[in-house]
Amino acid sequence: MGQISLSDFRGHWVLLFSHPADFTPVCTSEFVSLSRAHDKFKSLDCQLIAISVDSLYAHLGWIRAIRDHFGVTVAFPIVEDPSLVIGRAYGMISDSAPDAATMRSSFFVDPDGIIRATLCYPATIGRSVEEMLRVLAALQRVDQDDAVVPEGWHPGDQVLLPPSADQDSVLTSTDEDCWFHRFKPDSGTAKKR
């Protein structure tokens, strides 16, 4: 897909994620699922960008094998990093790693180019695409107004109000027994799954 730079995507969300190696079972399962969910990420204004230490030609052979065997087209860029410069700069390669395979790192980058969340799994455990979508939607939701999201939140679920941060407000409040854990209906515009 040619050369790219993260700055090319300013103004949009980016999910930059590493995978240990092409032609591996866990990575293949992730790429098939991410390809099938590509339109969901696009609907959240998010560009998927993969990165690994494998070469361009390994990437090309692998995405062709994925297309031919699973019937899905990988429609997002896969960055080659054979020199490990990007992987080391982003901490994707463990200092104690016996080889150059990256961990399963995911970086959620906001439209201003700020990394807002990271997830990291070992090479042996695949990521949940649904969780990646949920984290992205949650980040977008909390940016909309004065709300935070609870455990397991999905678009359309109730959100939480941030608690008061000063002692007088807390001690004089008679409205809430549980002033630090107050739900409200979600009036935000985050898209439903």
> Which residue intervals of the chain bear CATH 3.40.30.10?
6-127
pLDDT given for residue 91 in this prediction: 82
- The active-site residue out of 27, 46, 120, 178 is 27
Instruction: Report the DSSP pairing between strands 104-109 and 115-121.
Output: antiparallel
Asked if residue 88 has pLDDT above 60, the reply is yes
Beta strands in 4-90 (DSSP E): 13-18, 46-52, 78-80
Give the residue among 139, 147, 121 at the shortest CA–CA distance from 15.
Answer: 139
- The CATH class, in words, for 6-127 is alpha beta
How far lies 88's CA from each of 58, 73, 94, 126, in Å? 21, 29, 8, 21
Q: Distance (Å, rounded) from C-alpha 62 to C-alpha 190? A: 34
User: Across the chain, what does the average pLDDT equal?
Assistant: 88
Q: Is 27 a catalytic residue?
A: yes
> Residue 61: helix, strand or coil by DSSP?
helix
Give the residue among 126, 142, 144 at the shortest CA–CA distance from 134.
Answer: 142
Give the residue among 84, 130, 116 at the shortest CA–CA distance from 103.
Answer: 84
Long-range interactions of 174-180: CB distance < 8 A, separation 24+: none
* Percent with pLDDT over 90 in the chain: 60
Which band of pLDDT confidence, cut at 50, 70 and 90, is reported for residue 72? very high
Asked if residue 28 has pLDDT above 90, the reply is yes
The tens digit of pLDDT for each residue in 112-152 reads 999 999 999 988 899 999 999 999 999 999 999 888 999 99
Higher-pLDDT residue of 97, 56: 56
pLDDT given for residue 192 in this prediction: 45
